Amino acid sequence: MKRIPFLIPLLFLAACTQSSSPPSSEPHSDPPEALQQPAATSPPMQPPQLSLYMVPLDQGGFSMEKIQADKKTIEKDPNNVPALVSLGDANFMIQRFEKAQEYYERALKTDAKNLNIRLSLSNCYIFMQKPDESIRQLDMILATQKDQPEALYNKGLILLQSKGDPAAAKEAWSRLIAAHPDHPLARDVKDEMSRL
């Protein structure tokens, strides 16, 4: 299972990439007073404890040859789900979320019940700062599998961090814990729920 840090909304892209540029040697000026660290008497801000669930991608399997082969496959067979998903994944990896969305949507037209494709599409929407669309995709999964753990987990996280609705997040996570008490994602949310 692969998860990445999930922060709202300006840090979405930073959460799924690593900068390849060397750190700057130029000194940084002090932040404005309003942005400085709180006084020592205040407890430090805790980093986010939870990470967005991501469908595992074969990061070593993307090459220009594979991408070209997938494109040729789609030219001959426009509804070839594995090729469409592969191209969606390749675009997701390089943060071309709108293009990845197109490929995932095309794949879902042929294979509408594929949960992994719908989860990937939901994640595209969240990185495009469209939480309502992301939740709509998760709800489509939950309409067919009402206790699907990854969908419940991500829905709770989006409701909490992007929609600012801790009560709704707690409801989604309570369903996850009740249906899958030993699932790693259920264990992850228990601590967070105690803070809500």
Identity of the amino acid at 4: I
Place of tokens 């699907």: 148
Q: Give the separation between CA 48 and CA 82, rounded to whole angstroms.
A: 34
Per-residue pLDDT at 137: 98
- At 16 the pLDDT is 36
Q: What is the pLDDT of residue 23?
A: 35
Residue environment code for 159-194, b if the CB has 16+ CB neighbours within 10 A, otherwise e: bbbbbeebebbbebbebbbeebeebebbebbeebbe
Residues (pLDDT < 70) of the chain are 1-49, 59-60
Supply the pTM of this predicted model: 0.74
| 116 three-class SS | helix
Residue 38's pLDDT is 38
The pLDDT of residue 55 is: 86
Q: Are 156 and 121 in contact (CB under 8 A)?
A: no
Q: What is the pLDDT of residue 60?
A: 65
